[in-house]
Chain A
Amino acid sequence: MKVMAQMSMVMNLDKCIGCHTCSVTCKQAWTNRSGVEYVWFNNVETRPGIGYPRRYEDQEKWGGGWVRTKSGRLKLRSGGRMKKLATIFSNPKLPEIHDYYEPWTYEYDMLLNAPAGEHTPVAKPKSLLTGEDMKISWSANWDDNLGGSAETMAEDPILQHMSEHVASEYEDTYMFYLPRICEHCLNPSCVASCPSGAMYKRVEDGIVLVDQDQCRGWRMCVSGCPYKKVYFNHKTGKAEKCTLCYPRLEVGLPTVCSETCVGRLRYLGLVLYDADKVAEAASVEDEHALLDAQRSVFLDPHDPAVVQAAREAGIPEDWIDAAQRSPIHKLINEYKVALPLHPEYRTMPMVWYIPPLSPVVDVIASSGNDGEDAKTLFAAIAKLRIPLEYLAGLFTAGDTRPVEASLRKLAAMRSYMRGINLGEGKDERIADAVGMTGDSLEEMYRLLAIAKYEERYVIPAAHTEQAQELDELACSLDYDGGPGMGGAGPFGSSSGQQVPVAVENFHALKNRQTADRPSTSGRVNLLNWDGNGAPTGLFPPKSEGE
């Protein structure tokens, strides 16, 4: 047994209102730079829909992830090492910018500087690739809320796997949002695809990163990732991806997307797993068995043998403690309501989802029935085959049983809690029907509905004895120039040295958590801004005479 710790996330889809706050704050923090305009480390897709980039789930086309060979071994879907090197001069599976969208801005200057005239000036859209006028015809969430879906929805790879008859009927019955970040997989195919070995999985917390100094721009990781969560910075010629906000996690803060999530639906915590069993679990033959295989890789942090092995593996005491309090472990292994996204890609993804029950409730309520009655709900879940099949296409490689089990638990929780609220007492039969106890239903309710910040995010900080080594320790302005100073090196915008990932340091972050004034003055950085007051620089200076 080789115990390793993995920082992971669970999202409760029932609560996502599709506001895109997570995407926007993530963008402000990480990808508001030239070359990554089209890059969304966090994006929110309306499903059914074709996702971002377009149809990324169609692995026949993009060749992401792993496949199992006849001999039972795993192989990169788009070919092994030799094939990768042979196709390195032009990657046949690389999405083009138009599979994402052509980034643009508006000619805002026109609004201020246009000469007085008869017509109101307009800010025309300008391509950020050519600077020319462009017609905006696609973006990262063009089919938001099923907008225009009549035309595009049939392209959804999941729907295409279901029967055609289903597709049209589907549109009337079901819609939900799917926020996506990098999965920080246990068996990352992006890392395996990188010819220069610049991508790696961090031993301490399992975060998957790109070493910007070692990346040589072979762009194989982009096609290797089945979730299309490695992006190519077209200005620097290097790959970039979601970092799980590691500079924040290292000081005990949740990721920006979690911190700002309006629905408070994201959970962050550690999972202990057995690294020796990953390869075996990822290569089980039956795709439907992958979910249980992955669950079996996770270790019970309360088991003394596991704790002992974790200590021997050098995992610090407070990390073991955090793993025991982890909401992730509860949702995945205890309540078994969370499911992985596309386990059939065999990368062992580590961002899991609690499937949405609310659309089922909506259907019941709109037909005039009681949307909180256990029996009605159970019956509806079983009857509404279409959403069930669709969700199974996303979360369980098409097996509807685990999805149904998860939805039934959510339904049971709903009606059990209603009973309590109406003073009808605790109906253990409801809990029985889904193989749980009333107490555990109540606990699950607490975690899913009212959990506080500290319960949703159980993040042990990196160790103070290692603090000297933390990336962000240097004084925040300890490098030439500073953010926004601009200027490219002599070989174009890719040259020169990088900026630190976050202009932040350990003490400033600690300070900010305890002070009641903004601890950073002069600059606004969403990586550390906590909404305390308005830092100078948030708004432009007032002009004289105002």
Chain B
Amino acid sequence: MTTWDILLWVAMPYAAFAVFVVGHIWRYRYDKFGWTTRSSQTYESRLLRWGSPMFHLGILMVIAGHAVGLLIPREWLYAIGIDEHMYHLGATALGTAAAVLTLAGLAILIYRRRTVGPVFLATTRMDKLMYVVLGAVLLFGTIATVMYQLLGPGYEYRGTVGPWLRSLIVFQPRPELMVDVPIMFQIHVIAANVLFALWPFTRLVHVWSAPIGYLFRPYIVYRSRDDARRPGSRPARPGWEGIQTPDPKKLTKL
């Protein structure tokens, strides 16, 4: 094992995780006002109507798949009767469907961002960076799956990547598990680390606000005038911008 291996498979994931956690706390305290989906549907709805549900449905399936594949040891699944073959069939079928949905959705969303003028002008630099990294994670993940699982002999990541991740979670890192993992999986993991480090500084924070509480609260919310001034609420800072025409030249250069 080289220093590189330690850096890539121990230092980097922990660093990314630290930035992820501290970043979220900081962003939530400093920038509650910026914590939003920043929906662009008012500008354009025709493409979004397809792209956004496809992407989101896909990505949620992908996340669920990763949770099952990486966090749950295969022995547990054997115990409830899901053997190697069944898992492989399920993972490949559902995974492919999810990947197709996600990538197609993302393609529509990115196409929309680039071609619909107002949406493009409302895209921040952070958005662009996020799309590059998110796209890279998804792309390399898909390439790895197609190369090794669909076309190749099949790679059993549940013997390497899975235990490696769990070893990090219990603070007994085993970087050696990652050393011989195929390169496409390695790149996928590294890109994912970068995405996690970026996460708190992008619009992706909206994921943590998924409004599950809506299902359980009463419809009409009452609040006292004084609730708004709960202790700890901070004095306000400016966010007031004068009205300006956007620069149309920006439409033509990326």
User: Are the CB atoms of B36 and A486 closer together than 8 Å?
Assistant: no
Given A494-B36, A499-B240, A85 contacting B214 (CB threshold 8 A): yes
User: Are the CB atoms of B121 and A200 closer together than 8 Å?
Assistant: no
User: Which stretch from A150-158, A185-193, A509-517 is at the chain B interface?
Assistant: A185-193
Q: How far is the CA of A211 from the CA of B240 in the complex (A)?
A: 17
Q: How far is the CA of A490 from the CA of B118 in the complex (A)?
A: 20
Main secondary structure of the interface of A (DSSP, over half): loop
Identify B248's interface contact among A130, A203, A466, CB under 8 A: A130
B33 at interface by CB-CB < 8 Å: yes
User: Are the CB atoms of A217 and B37 closer together than 8 Å?
Assistant: yes
Q: How far is the CA of A201 from the CA of B225 in the complex (A)?
A: 9
B237 at interface by CB-CB < 8 Å: yes
Identify A204's interface contact among B53, B211, B225, CB under 8 A: B225
B134 CB to closest chain A CB (Å) equals 16
Looking across the interface, which residue of chain B has its beta carbon closest to that of A32?
B243
A462 at interface by CB-CB < 8 Å: yes
User: Are the CB atoms of B238 and A204 closer together than 8 Å?
Assistant: no
Q: How far is the CA of A218 from the CA of B212 in the complex (A)?
A: 13
Chain B residues lying within 8 Å of A37, measured Cβ to Cβ, are: 243
User: Are the CB atoms of B52 and A132 closer together than 8 Å?
Assistant: no
Identify B31's interface contact among A188, A216, A496, CB under 8 A: A496
User: Are the CB atoms of A203 and B223 closer together than 8 Å?
Assistant: yes
User: Are the CB atoms of B222 and A491 closer together than 8 Å?
Assistant: no
Chain B residues lying within 8 Å of A192, measured Cβ to Cβ, are: 219-220
B74 CB to closest chain A CB (Å) equals 33
Number of B positions contacting A (CB below 8 A): 67
Q: Which of B90-124 contact A (CB under 8 A)?
A: 117-118, 121-122, 124
B28 CB to closest chain A CB (Å) equals 10
Q: Which of A445-499 contact B (CB under 8 A)?
A: 462, 466, 469, 471, 474, 478-499
Chain B residues lying within 8 Å of A403, measured Cβ to Cβ, are: none
User: Are the CB atoms of A484 and B223 closer together than 8 Å?
Assistant: no
Chain B residues lying within 8 Å of A213, measured Cβ to Cβ, are: 32-33, 35
Q: Which of A190-246 contact B (CB under 8 A)?
A: 191-192, 194-197, 199-205, 211-219, 232, 234-238
Chain B residues lying within 8 Å of A128, measured Cβ to Cβ, are: 243, 245-246
User: Are the CB atoms of A187 and B245 closer together than 8 Å?
Assistant: no
Chain A residues lying within 8 Å of B229, measured Cβ to Cβ, are: 469, 471
A179 CB to closest chain B CB (Å) equals 24
Chain A residues lying within 8 Å of B53, measured Cβ to Cβ, are: 89-90
B131 CB to closest chain A CB (Å) equals 14
User: Are the CB atoms of B242 and A216 closer together than 8 Å?
Assistant: no
User: Are the CB atoms of A85 and B201 closer together than 8 Å?
Assistant: no
A2 CB to closest chain B CB (Å) equals 11
B178 CB to closest chain A CB (Å) equals 33
Given A131-B121, A200-B223, A498-B236, A493 contacting B241 (CB threshold 8 A): yes
Q: Mark B75-103, 1 if CB is under 8 A from A, else 0.
A: 00000000000000000000000000000
B56 at interface by CB-CB < 8 Å: yes
B206 CB to closest chain A CB (Å) equals 6
Q: How far is the CA of A493 from the CA of B182 in the complex (A)?
A: 42
Q: Mark A513-542, 1 if CB is under 8 A from B, else 0.
A: 000000000000000000000000000000
Greatest chain B CB density within 10 A among A89, A212, A478 is at A89
User: Are the CB atoms of A90 and B41 closer together than 8 Å?
Assistant: yes
Chain A residues lying within 8 Å of B203, measured Cβ to Cβ, are: 491
Chain B residues lying within 8 Å of A212, measured Cβ to Cβ, are: 33
Looking across the interface, which residue of chain B has its beta carbon closest to that of A188?
B220
Greatest chain A CB density within 10 A among B36, B201, B226 is at B36
Q: Mark B218-254, 1 if CB is under 8 A from A, else 0.
A: 0111111110110000111111111111111011000
Provide 5 A-B residue pairs closer than 8 Å at the C-beta atoms, listed in order of the A residue: A33-B240, A89-B53, A218-B37, A487-B238, A491-B201
Q: Which 5 A-B pairs give the minimum distances between C-beta atoms?
A: A495-B34, A195-B211, A237-B38, A497-B237, A217-B36
